[in-house]
Structure formats: C-alpha cells, structure tokens
Chains A and B, each alone.
Chain A
Amino acid sequence: MRCRKCERAAVINMRQHKLALCGEHYSEWFLAQTERAIEKYQMFTRDEPVLVAVSGGKDSLSLWDALLRLGYRADGLYIGLGINEPAPYSDVSLEKTRAFVSSVTPALARGASVASREVAKQSPNNELEAASSPPPLPAMRQDFVPTLHVIDIEHVYGKTIPQIAREKTRGHGKPCAACGLTKRYVMNRIALDKGYAVLATGHNLDDEVAVLLQNTLRWQTGYLARQAPVLPASREGLTRKVKPFCRFYERETATYALVRGIDYIYDECPHAVGNLTNFYKTLLNQLEAQSPGAKLGFYLEFLRARSEGAFEQFNQVEALHECEVCGQPTSAPGRCAFCRMWDIQKVDRAVAR
C-alpha cells in the first residue's frame, strides 16, 4: 500500500479515515491531529505550562514528544509505584522515561535522528531498522528544557503500591484501586503545587471507548456525564485534566512511537493483565475488524450526545469538603480517601514536602 501523499510505502492504513501514510507524512498528520484536538476541545494554550503524566509507555511518551514538538511548555511527572514483582516493571519504566528525557533535551535534539536510532537499537522489544528511518523532526522549542518530576511512592509514603494494597481492603486484593487513587491524588497535588495550568494524560480512543462501553452496559449515568476530553478545574484544589490523544486509536499512538524511535516499555503493568477494561478493548477490536470506524463513531457520537445535554441531568456537582489533613477536596467531611488509605494524620507527610 502506498502513501496517499507521496507514493512511498505506507507504514499505516487507517481504515476509519480511509487514509494510508508513510512514516514522514504520518508523523506530520499525527502532530496536526494532536494540535487539532487541543484546539477543538480548548484544552490549553501555548502560554500555559502543561504537566504530562508519564509512565514510560507508548501513549504518555508519545504525548510528551508531540507536545514538545508542537511547541508547548510541557514537563513530565513520573510516579514510582514500586511494582517490581514478578518483573521490574517500575524500574524499567523509569529507565525508559529518563532515556526519553535525555533524547529530547535541546542539546540532543539537534542530532535527534541519530539519538532516536540509537535508542531504537537498544530496545529489547523494538528491532525496527533504524526506527524505519525516522523522518526529520518538526521544529522544537530551543528555549525550553523539559523537566521530569519523579515521585517515588515508597520514599514519600513508606510503602509500595503492592504493599499498601495487601494491607487495605480497597480493591479486594488487587492493587489497581489503590494505585488509581494514589496516582490521581499525586498527579493533582503536584500539578497544583508546582503551578501547572493543566494535567495531560495519554489516554487514547481505545481507552476511552472501553470505559464508555463499560459504563454504558451498566448505565453508570454519573460516570457517562463526566467522561470528556477535558475535565475542568471545577473548584479550588482540583486541576484541569485533558486527554489530547482521545481521538487516536491505540495502534496509531503505537505507530507514532515506533516511527519516531521512542523507546517505550513494551510490557504493561503485570496487574493489568486480564482486567475488565482490556476485555472490553478486545471485544471492541473484534467489532472494529468487522466494521472499520465503529470505535471512533461510538466515541464521537457519545461526545455529540453529551454536548447536546443528553447526560446533563446526571452531571450533579457534589458538595465537596476540604480534607482535614491535606486540604484536598473530598466528598465526605473528615479525611479524604487518600489520607485514610495511607493513614496520613499530619499535613507534614503530604506529597509535596
């Protein structure tokens, strides 16, 4: 199959768009679509500092890469969860994240094609020939040096996520609930404390439609009302959250990472294997195979219905209280769920200190 724009061999065929592109034109298209989503949903401007939640995976590193290449002032936040059994997942993901930062600093960016190729060669899971010859990089700000903030949960709170999950009933033995609560809290807290206007996550369309299907099957109207590309800072103490990749299929973010030579952690969290969200992703991919564009249509039509007020009556803003320990918004008086789970009694154990 040939590239629609230049007749070179295509690296991706997006059936839902009836569009096949080579590596160079795909990179251009991907960045343009990212910019389009940011503008369409009024996520943030070039004047606003952005904090990208990075995990070392393809989505978050590609997001950080794309925002930097589009000229946004984007820093990264990595949260060390201490998940290193049965394999060193957290250690490897931090290593990949740090390698990415080294590859995009302005000093290295001048020779980034070479750097990208070297990273690609070193990757145990990506043996693409020189990352399919990565195309020239789009302009990148030379006056901005991205910062990576690293928060190690065990160092700050004294336990890893698997350890706290074993001690608490939240999640019934699986660490995902404790992990999600901790990540949401820390991301919000760091974004606020360090003065970021917005927190960006790498959620892609497959992530969004899997959650959408899950909530639809159970008619979780409250969750449906709040699912959106932008979650505004609805009150003091909450940061704005955005998902610039919400219209990209997962295979599109993976293709961008491969084309750009981004060395990401290939194996995902061992605790995520077999979870319900991934089961829905599998079902939706089977639907997509029979009906190209089904996932995109499902999501965009949901957003249209939502914007027309279909879920407005369920979008009730709860009266929030201030956590008596950390001051973060919480639905019930007293300590917030985070401070209760981590048994934090004093404010001086808060994450930013």
Chain B
Amino acid sequence: MQIMFRDKKWELKGGIAARDAIKKVGLDPESVLVTINGKLVTDDTILKEDDEVKLVAVVSGGARTEF
C-alpha cells in the first residue's frame, strides 16, 4: 500500500491502522488528515494492501509534521 504526503511516498504492508502507519513513516497523527482512495476517513481505519492513502496537513503556517 502506498502512502503519499506532499512530495513524499512510502510503501507499507496493509493490515495496520492508519494512525499506526502515520507514526511508522515518522509523522504526527495529530497534524494530518487521512484520505483513502479519495475519501476522508478516521485514523483508526485499517489500511488494505491496494489502498492509495493520501495525507493532508492540517497545521498551517509551516509547522513540523514530523515527530
């Protein structure tokens, strides 16, 4: 499954919650929203192998989204 955020991309295995995937790629779950295949979802959603996940930054002003 592919996770995209701005100009970055990561490949992860499916079967984990979006919130855990966000942490796994080094981002802060509080500062991004999750879309799967173009739909806004909550971060407890379990990601499937063929999902296309895009993260949307919520923190304006250029705040860091990484831990």
- Partner-B contacts on A (CB < 8 A): 1, 9-13, 20, 23, 57-59, 125-129, 132, 206, 250-251, 254-255, 258-259, 266, 268-270, 272-275, 277-279, 281-282, 285-286, 288-289
Total interface residues in chain B, CB < 8 Å: 26
Interface of A is mostly: helix
Which residues of A lie under 8 Å from residue B30 when comparing CB positions?
A: 251, 285-286, 288-289
Is the beta-carbon distance between B59 and A250 smaller than 8 angstroms?
yes
- The total of interchain contacts (Cβ-Cβ below 8 angstroms) comes to 95
Tell me if B43 counts as interface (CB < 8 A to partner A). yes
In angstroms, Cα B37 to Cα A128, docked, is 8
**Known contacts A1-B44, A206-B59; A128/B35 CB under 8 A:** yes
Taking a contact as CB atoms closer than 8 A, the residue among A1, A126, A258, A269 that contacts B45 in the complex is A1
**Known contacts A126-B56, A258-B56; A273/B40 CB under 8 A:** no
Is the beta-carbon distance between B41 and A254 smaller than 8 angstroms?
no
In angstroms, Cα B45 to Cα A13, docked, is 11
Is the beta-carbon distance between B59 and A11 smaller than 8 angstroms?
no
**Known contacts A1-B44, A11-B40, A128-B35; A268/B62 CB under 8 A:** yes
Q: List 8 A-B contacts (CB under 8 A).
A: A1-B42, A10-B41, A128-B39, A128-B40, A132-B40, A255-B33, A278-B59, A289-B30
**Known contacts A275-B62, A281-B59; A10/B42 CB under 8 A:** yes
Chain B min CB distance to A255 (Å): 6
**Known contacts A288-B30, A289-B28; A129/B61 CB under 8 A:** no
In angstroms, Cα B57 to Cα A277, docked, is 16
